[in-house]
Amino acid sequence: MTEKIIKIICLFFLLVINLNSFSQDAGQYRVGISYGSSLRSKYDKFVFSLNGNQTIVIDSTNSTVYFPQKLSTGQKYTITQIEGPRTCNIYDNTGTITNQDVLITINCGFPALTILKMNVIGVEPGESFTFSDDYGRTHTYPISFTGSNLGGFPIGDQYKIFQTAGPRQCILTNGHGIVPDNMIIVEADCRKIEPPNPPPAIKYDLVSRSTDNKVTTTYYETATPVIGGMSNAAGGNEGRYIAFVSYAKGIDGSLGKYRQIFWRDRSTGVTKLISRNATGEEANADCHAPSISADGETVAFESYATNLSANDNNGARDVFVWKKSTGKVQLVSKTPSGESGNSESMEPAVSGNGNIIAFSSNASNIVEASNGGLNVFVHDVAAGTTELISKDYETGKAAGGSVPSISEDGTRIAFCSYSYRLVKNDNNNLWDIFLWQKGTPGLKRISMTSTGGERDQGTESASRVVSPAISGDGRMIAYATTATNVVPGDTNGMQDVFLYNIETGSVARVSTGKNGEEGNGDSPIDQGVRIGISYNGSWVSFNTNATNLGVPKGNILVKNTTVNTIIPVTNSTTGSTARPMLSRFGNFVIAGTSEKYDKRFASSGIFTFYISTAPCTNCPK
């Protein structure tokens, strides 16, 4: 018995010794690496090994990382860099564990940087504006400043400058994008902009008329007006420039055989037929869908004509652009060799300065990745290059899209598509609105519910195409749908207008009354049409069949999206209205109506409606 007890005790001690040995082999202490540089590229990735075995990765989201393997006191360690864009300086890369964790500092230097500068205007005494970048640096401006240094940004990185504080929202130009290898300037316009208010009397201007006022076109002869002009300062040109479609005879020599594109300068009173070729001959087939730049000096449009460009040999609809500076029309929907695409192109949208044009096309030879079917492209007029943006998220091939809308700087485009291949997890089998951002891989789906779920079909047809409208600053997207679950409490069973905030991901219904009540009719009246939207999305315009939104059924209103102010634009009980568009700051609405609003002319047609109490530079006297 004693011998057995002795054996058991010996076995117990052997087990304890083995357990202690196992515990020591497993290790107690961690070895980690901390990246010492304060600024690094978002694409930098450095890989290190511990004793030639386990590896860890240091990147923009992981600045301090510990190896999974733990070591025991007395064990040696060696840290080695095995991958990275630059050779790192590793402080004390070898050593021995001494009863504690080890954290080793590395310095991998800086990537190639570009210094960006910032100009801030419109800061008044006592005010202060603060901006931040996505590298965690902040910049505060108590006074207007020109050429301040924002610091170094890694070349090739996506950057973003955003406002974090200030008494009002500033308008940023070059506020996001890809860091170039030469300096760029971020402009912050912080000037006060007086918003439109209900005026004592709205001023009307019939714009569908000839330069000499002898020819006016009716509501039924005109269509799809757009409005340009950027400045609302004293003497500014907001709402000065107009483009529209008409088949009326006699305006600037038009023959009245086909629908043509006209451009009007409301300050000078000049109306030009711009759908002409280099010899002055008007388009020999119908033209449609004008889009005007924010400065008003560029108009893109679609046309079935075959005589507007010597390179148009496809016998199909194409996209063209006219510039005031040259007075000439050139083909946009073309192949790399300059020939027209091998199928129809349409639905242009032009950037603020007229240099970037988005459009839809069925052509399969505009870019290599296109395989036919309706897709969205973006064309750089100056560079002569075209890019497909409605791409399959896995293959990069054309997946389908249409009706693009473009931000003023040309870096953000919203469009509609039925494809479920543009983003992952698109499972609603319905149209959706997508956002393309220059320099950002992949697309973003916009038309989701407020909780991020799939919207329902509502009462609209499965074949409905919805036209998104992106704000000039690229932050907001307006669209209309009969879906009932985009926001909670949507029980009216009608089409409603929604506004999506790209920066926050929030969505709100804006076709509501002053106290938030639901509209009792469709807004807008027709399905699939574009909503008018101001530069920063604070104002939208649409017509409505509702009778409880401040206007009679079938009329136009302007809605403030932040304080719920509603401004009636038309107030007719017998006539009809067409899609209204807004000028840059919302001081002018342009729309076709069957009513004769401008008492100087006995004609219906296209009118601008001035809805601000500020002095009106471009109003009729």
Task: For residue range 87-122, list pLDDT tens digits in order.
Answer: 999 988 999 999 999 999 998 888 889 999 999 988
pLDDT tens by residue, 288-301: 999 999 999 999 99
Structural contact between residues 474 and 502, judged by C-beta atoms closer than 8 angstroms: yes
Q: What are phi and psi of 2, to 5 degrees?
A: -65, -40
| pLDDT tens-place string over residues 170-193 | 878 888 878 888 888 888 888 875
Tens digit of each residue's pLDDT (9 = 90 or more) over 411-454: 999 999 999 999 999 999 999 999 999 989 999 999 999 999 99
For residue 16, the model assigns a pLDDT of 45
Q: How far apart are CA 338 and CA 386, in angstroms?
A: 11
Sheet holding 76-83, edge to edge: 55-59, 45-50, 76-83, 94-96
- Measured distance CA(64)–CA(86) in Å, rounded: 18
> Cβ distance 620 to 265 under 8 Å?
no
* 448-491 per-position pLDDT tens digit: 999 999 999 999 988 889 999 999 999 999 999 999 999 999 99
Q: What digits encode the pLDDT tens for the residues 44-96?
A: 899 999 999 889 999 888 889 999 999 999 999 999 999 999 999 998 899 99
Q: Find tokens 């070059």 and name the residue.
A: 174
CA atoms within a 13 Å half-sphere pointing along the CA-CB vector of 412: 24
User: Using CA of residue 604, residue 605, residue 609, residue 615, what is the dihedral sign?
Assistant: negative
User: How many residues belong to the chain?
Assistant: 621
CB atoms within 10 A of CB 497: 25
Name the DSSP letter for residue 459. T
Which two tokens mark 548? 């409880």
* Helix, strand, coil in percent for the chain, rounding step 5: 5, 40, 55
User: pLDDT (tens digit, 9 = 90+) per residue, 187-244?
Assistant: 888 887 554 433 334 589 999 999 999 999 999 999 999 999 987 655 578 999 999 9
DSSP string, 314-352: SSS-EEEEEETTTTEEEE-SB-TTSPBPSS-EEEEEE-T
What pLDDT is recorded for position 522? 97
Query: Which residues fall within 8 angstroms of residue 473, CB to CB, at 6 or more apart?
Result: 171, 172, 407, 408, 535, 536, 537
| 15-24, 507-516, 580-589: the lowest-pLDDT one | 15-24
Q: Is the peptide bond before 524 cis (omega within 30 degrees of 0)?
A: yes
The structure tokens listed for 222 are: 């005109």
pLDDT at 372: 78
Phi, psi of 387 (to 5 degrees): -130, 135
Containing 21, the helix (H) or strand (E) segment is helix 2-26
Reduced to 3 states (helix: H, G, I; strand: E, B; else coil), residue 525 is: coil
What band does 37 get if pLDDT is binned at 50, 70 and 90?
low
Whose CA is closest to 208, among 180, 247, 244? 244
Q: Give the three-state DSSP class for 6.
A: helix
At 597, is the secondary structure helix, strand, or coil? coil
Residue 36: its pLDDT value, please? 73
User: What does the angle CA 105 – CA 106 – CA 110 come to, to the nearest 5 degrees?
Assistant: 135
- Specify burial of residue 209 (Cβ count, 10 A radius: 0-12, 13-18, 19+): buried
Global pTM value: 0.73
Summarize pLDDT for 366-408 with one digit per residue, the tens: 998 778 799 999 999 989 999 999 999 999 999 999 999 999 9
Written as six digits, the tokens of 67 are 């190896």
CA dist 242 and 606 (Å) reads 10
How many Cβ atoms are within 10 Å of 268's Cβ, its own excluded? 9
Q: Left (φ > 0), alpha (ψ -120 to 50) or beta: where does 20 sit?
A: alpha
CA 168 to chain centre: 21
Q: Kindly list the strands in the beta sheet with 469-470, ordered across the sheet, starting from the edge strand earlier in the chain.
A: 469-470, 476-481, 496-501, 507-509
3-state SS of 543-581 is EECCCCCCCCCCEEEEEECCCCCEEECCCCCCCCECCCE
According to the model, what pLDDT value does residue 42 have? 83
Spatial CA neighbour of 349 closest among 389, 391, 378: 378
